[in-house]
Amino acid sequence: MNVIESHGLGKCYRGTWALRECSVAIPSDHVVALVGPNGSGKSTLLNLVVGLAAPTVGTLAVLDGITPGSPEALDAIAFVAQDTPLYRNLSASETLRLAQSLNRHFDRISAEARLAELGIPLKWKAGKLSGGQQAQLALTLALARRPRLLVLDEPVARLDPLARSDFMATVLQAVSDDGVSVVLSSHVLTDLERVADYIILLRDGGVQLAGEVDALLDSHRVLTGPTVEAECYSDHPVIHAQSGRTQTHLLVRATATNPVPAGWETHRVGLEELTLAYLREPGASALPGPSRAVSSERPNEVRCPR
């Protein structure tokens, strides 16, 4: 089952494409990280998925064929928006009551237990809570709905490292307890390695890299060797080269079993390193199935009206 499936999806805001020619199929039972530079269309894609915005072109289905924004989709998808907006003048308890009123399912008992666990007093106004507590409250509200898909837009961007780690721990707990599928967008690459098992890299509104994290890490290696020999290296596709005066690091598409040239060292690539390499090389792409490079030429059939 695919939690998100899009084909030729495009969204235009006042004359510019925020998302364009985006075709993805995101499988369920994963923690999917959506990464990409600013303006690459991450938030736009998530807004389309949760039904806040409607596509300009293309098709988009969630949770196996459900239309985003339909009652079924609203019921099954919980969304924590950027900066975790909450009603600041409502107490934590009233915030829970509001969520309970607005949803078919809401596990208030577990939500209250969770807030007690976090040390968030029910009587406190949401606006008085710390950034980390507000994020945890928003996440608690989302999880108490028992969603099939949890969508998080830059959930930890404003949090300090400790709150960030606690937040991600709560997400992972929900994944293991309830089997909820998660799609999260993030700038914070270090956190992703620990939580994400599927990654999608967006650039200029298109998909540059997509796949299961383990598979991607297994199919890439970092080779370190003398800079003078780096130019001659041609065994495997080089994604990114980082050259010092004497040593050069090459990120290549290769597996651990591939032979290493004499005088070169090899090591496994980390997710952050891999993501950064692709971010620095707009021309490179790695996609499941037939590979498709992100080209600057776009089909010009649909105009983006101003």
Partner 1 sequence: MPTLTVPLSAAPRPLPPIPWRRMAWVTWRQHRVAMGAASAVLGGLALYLWLTGRQTHHAWAVVSACHPASSSICTRSRNDFNTSYVPNAVAAVVMMQLAPALVGAFTGAPILGREFETGTFRYVWTQGMGRRRWALGKLVPLALALGAMAGACSALFSWYYQPFFSDSFQTPLAPVLFGLRGVAFTAWTLAAFSTGAFAGALLRRVVPAVVATLVTYAGLTLAAGLYLRQHYLAPVVSRSLDLPGAAWIIGQWYTKNGHLAFNGVQKSAVNADRLQHFCPSAPPTEALGHCLALHGYTQWTSFQPAGRFWPFQWIEGGWLLVLSTLLFAGTLWLIRRRAA
Report the interface residues with partner 1, using CB under 8 A.
1, 43-44, 47, 50-54, 63-66, 71-72, 74-75, 77-79, 81-83, 85-88, 90, 94, 97-99, 101-105, 138, 145
Closest to partner 1 by CB, 98 vs 260, is 98
Tokens for 82?
């950027």
Q: Which is nearer to partner 1, 134 or 266 (CB)?
A: 134
What is the DSSP secondary structure assignment for residue 128, as one 8-state letter?
G
Cα–Cα separations (whole angstroms), residue 1 to 29, 64, 214: 9, 6, 20
Contacts of 239 (CB under 8 A, 6+ apart): 220, 251, 252, 253, 277, 278, 281, 284
Q: C-beta of 166: minimal distance to partner 1 in Å?
A: 21
In the complex, what is the shortest distance from the CB of residue 56 to partner 1, in angstroms, rounded to a whole number? Answer: 12
What burial class does residue 37 get, using C-beta atoms within 10 Å of its C-beta: 0-12 exposed, 13-18 middle, 19+ buried? Answer: middle
Name the residue nearer to partner 1 (CB basis): 97 or 128: 97
- Smallest separation, CB 303 to partner 1 (Å): 19
Q: Answer left, alpha or beta for residue 254, where phi above 0 means left and psi between -120 and 50 means alpha.
A: beta
Phi–psi pair at 248, nearest 5 degrees: -130, 140
Shorter beta-carbon distance to partner 1: residue 6 or 248: 6
Q: Which is nearer to partner 1, 31 or 138 (CB)?
A: 138
Smallest distance, partner 1 to C-beta of residue 180, A: 14
Q: Which residue has the tokens 């969508």?
A: 151
User: C-beta of 103: minimal distance to partner 1 in Å?
Assistant: 4
Q: Look-up: residue for tokens 């369920």?
A: 28
